[in-house]
Chain A
Amino acid sequence: MISMSRLCPYAFALSQILVVAGAAPASAQDKEPITMGVLLPLTGFGAPVAEAGRIGIELAVKELNEAGGIDGRQINIVIADDQSDASIAVNEVKRLVHQAGIDVLIGSAVSQNNLAILPVLNEAKIPSISLSGAQTLTTEAGPYHFSLFVNAEFQSIAMVDYAKNVLNAQSAAVIADAGAQGKFAAEALKRDMEAAGIRHTGTQEYAYRATDLTPQLLSLKRGDPETLFVFPSTGEDAGTILKTLEDIGWEVNVTGNWSMSGLAGPILQIAGPDAFRNTIGLNYTAFTYCPDDTAATPYEGFVKRAQDFAGDRFSRVSQNLSAIFYESVMVYNAAVQGTGGDMSGPAIAQWIEANISSYSGMFDDLVASPTNHFLAGPRTLTAVHPDRQRPGGMFERIDCQ
Chain B
Amino acid sequence: MAYELAIIFVRGLGLGAIYSLIALSFNVVYMSSGILNFAQGNILVLAGLLAALLSPPEVSVSLWLVLMLVVGCMLTLAVAAQGAMTLAPLRSSTEQHSWLVSTMAVSVIIGASILIVQGPFAVTAPYPFPGVRILGVRTPFAYLAVTALLVLCFVALQLFLRRTRTGVAISALAQDLELARATGLRVRLLQVVSFGISGAILGVTGFVAAPVISIAPDSGISYILSGFIAAVIGGMGNLYGALVGGPIVGVMAMSSAYLFGGEFQNLVLLTLLVAVLMVRPQGLFGRMSTRHV
Interface residues of A (CB under 8 A from B): 42-45, 47-48, 50-51, 84, 178, 203-207, 209-216, 218-219, 221-222, 236, 246-249, 266, 269-270, 316
- Whether A204 and B262, one on each chain, are in contact in the complex, defined by CB atoms closer than 8 angstroms, is yes
Asked if B263 is an interface residue, CB under 8 A from chain A, the answer is yes
> Nearest-CB distance from A325 to chain B (Å)?
15
Q: If A205-B262, A247-B138 touch, does A211 touch B8 (CB 8 Å cutoff)?
A: no
Q: A212-B212, A266-B122 are in contact. List 19 more A-B contacts (CB 8 A).
A: A45-B216, A47-B115, A47-B121, A51-B120, A178-B262, A205-B263, A207-B262, A209-B222, A210-B214, A211-B222, A212-B15, A214-B137, A215-B255, A218-B258, A236-B122, A247-B131, A247-B138, A266-B121, A316-B119
Give every chain A residue within 8 A of B219 (Cβ-Cβ).
209
- Whether A222 and B254, one on each chain, are in contact in the complex, defined by CB atoms closer than 8 angstroms, is no
Nearest residue, chain A, Cβ from B143: A212
Nearest residue, chain B, Cβ from A209: B214
Asked if B217 is an interface residue, CB under 8 A from chain A, the answer is yes
- Whether A218 and B119, one on each chain, are in contact in the complex, defined by CB atoms closer than 8 angstroms, is no
Give every chain A residue within 8 A of B123 (Cβ-Cβ).
269
Give every chain B residue within 8 A of A222 (Cβ-Cβ).
1, 4
Nearest residue, chain B, Cβ from A178: B263
- Whether B15 and A248, one on each chain, are in contact in the complex, defined by CB atoms closer than 8 angstroms, is no
- Whether B11 and A249, one on each chain, are in contact in the complex, defined by CB atoms closer than 8 angstroms, is no
> Nearest-CB distance from B85 to chain A (Å)?
24
Q: Which of B214, B259, B266 makes the CB contact (< 8 A) with A211? A: B214
Asked if B184 is an interface residue, CB under 8 A from chain A, the answer is no
Interface residues of B (CB under 8 A from A): 1, 4, 7-8, 11, 15, 111-112, 115, 119-124, 131, 136-140, 212-214, 216-219, 222, 254-255, 257-259, 261-263, 265-266
- Whether B216 and A236, one on each chain, are in contact in the complex, defined by CB atoms closer than 8 angstroms, is yes
Give every chain A residue within 8 A of B11 (Cβ-Cβ).
212, 214
Q: Which of A50, A178, A246, A248 makes the CB contact (< 8 A) with B120? A: A50
> Which of A84, A207, A221 has the most B CB atoms < 10 Å from its CB?
A207
Q: If A43-B115, A207-B266, A236-B216 touch, does A270 touch B121 (CB 8 Å cutoff)?
A: no
A203 to B263, CA, bound (A): 11
Nearest residue, chain A, Cβ from B256: A215
- Whether B138 and A216, one on each chain, are in contact in the complex, defined by CB atoms closer than 8 angstroms, is no
Nearest residue, chain B, Cβ from A183: B263
- Whether A212 and B218, one on each chain, are in contact in the complex, defined by CB atoms closer than 8 angstroms, is no
Give every chain A residue within 8 A of B15 (Cβ-Cβ).
211-212
- Whether A48 and B120, one on each chain, are in contact in the complex, defined by CB atoms closer than 8 angstroms, is yes
Q: Which of B121, B140, B261, B263 makes the CB contact (< 8 A) with A316? A: B121
- Whether B137 and A43, one on each chain, are in contact in the complex, defined by CB atoms closer than 8 angstroms, is no
> Nearest-CB distance from A236 to chain B (Å)?
4
> Nearest-CB distance from A226 to chain B (Å)?
20
6 A-B contact pairs sorted by A residue (CB < 8 Å): A43-B111, A43-B120, A47-B119, A209-B216, A210-B262, A247-B137
Q: If A212-B15, A236-B122 touch, does A247 touch B139 (CB 8 Å cutoff)?
A: yes
Nearest residue, chain A, Cβ from B139: A247
- Whether B265 and A47, one on each chain, are in contact in the complex, defined by CB atoms closer than 8 angstroms, is no
Q: Which of A51, A221, A249 makes the CB contact (< 8 A) with B138? A: A249
> Nearest-CB distance from B216 to chain A (Å)?
6
Q: Which of B120, B218, B262 makes the CB contact (< 8 A) with A216? A: B262
Closest CB pairs A-B (n = 5): A47-B120, A215-B258, A215-B257, A205-B262, A236-B122
Nearest residue, chain B, Cβ from A49: B120
Q: If A47-B115, A204-B262 touch, does A214 touch B8 (CB 8 Å cutoff)?
A: yes
- Whether A218 and B8, one on each chain, are in contact in the complex, defined by CB atoms closer than 8 angstroms, is yes
> Nearest-CB distance from B234 to chain A (Å)?
20
Nearest residue, chain A, Cβ from B115: A43
Q: Which of A203, A207, A249 makes the CB contact (< 8 A) with B265? A: A207
Give every chain B residue within 8 A of A214 (Cβ-Cβ).
7-8, 11, 137, 254
> Nearest-CB distance from B135 to chain A (Å)?
10
A219 to B217, CA, bound (A): 30
Nearest residue, chain A, Cβ from B111: A43
Give every chain B residue within 8 A of A42 (Cβ-Cβ).
120
- Whether B138 and A219, one on each chain, are in contact in the complex, defined by CB atoms closer than 8 angstroms, is no
> Nearest-CB distance from B53 to chain A (Å)?
14
Nearest residue, chain B, Cβ from A216: B262
Give every chain B residue within 8 A of A266 (Cβ-Cβ).
121-122
Nearest residue, chain A, Cβ from B112: A43
> Nearest-CB distance from B71 to chain A (Å)?
20
- Whether A211 and B265, one on each chain, are in contact in the complex, defined by CB atoms closer than 8 angstroms, is no
> Nearest-CB distance from A242 to chain B (Å)?
13
> Which of B7, B111, B216, B259 has the most A CB atoms < 10 Å from its CB?
B216
- Whether B216 and A206, one on each chain, are in contact in the complex, defined by CB atoms closer than 8 angstroms, is no
A163 to B261, CA, bound (A): 24
A221 to B7, CA, bound (A): 13
Give every chain B residue within 8 A of A47 (Cβ-Cβ).
115, 119-121, 217-218
- Whether B216 and A248, one on each chain, are in contact in the complex, defined by CB atoms closer than 8 angstroms, is no
Nearest residue, chain A, Cβ from B4: A218
Nearest residue, chain B, Cβ from A247: B138
Q: Which of B4, B218, B257, B266 makes the CB contact (< 8 A) with A43? A: B218
A308 to B261, CA, bound (A): 46
> Nearest-CB distance from B118 to chain A (Å)?
10
> Which of A205, A211, A269 has the most B CB atoms < 10 Å from its CB?
A211
> Nearest-CB distance from A314 to chain B (Å)?
13
A167 to B284, CA, bound (A): 52
- Whether B136 and A84, one on each chain, are in contact in the complex, defined by CB atoms closer than 8 angstroms, is no
A72 to B137, CA, bound (A): 63
A214 to B4, CA, bound (A): 10
Give every chain A residue within 8 A of B121 (Cβ-Cβ).
47-48, 266, 316
A383 to B28, CA, bound (A): 54
Q: If A209-B122, A209-B222, A266-B122 touch, does A215 touch B214 (CB 8 Å cutoff)?
A: no
A212 to B13, CA, bound (A): 12
Q: Which of A43, A206, A211, A246 makes the CB contact (< 8 A) with B212? A: A211
Give every chain A residue within 8 A of B259 (Cβ-Cβ).
219
Give every chain B residue within 8 A of A236 (Cβ-Cβ).
122, 214, 216
> Nearest-CB distance from B112 to chain A (Å)?
8
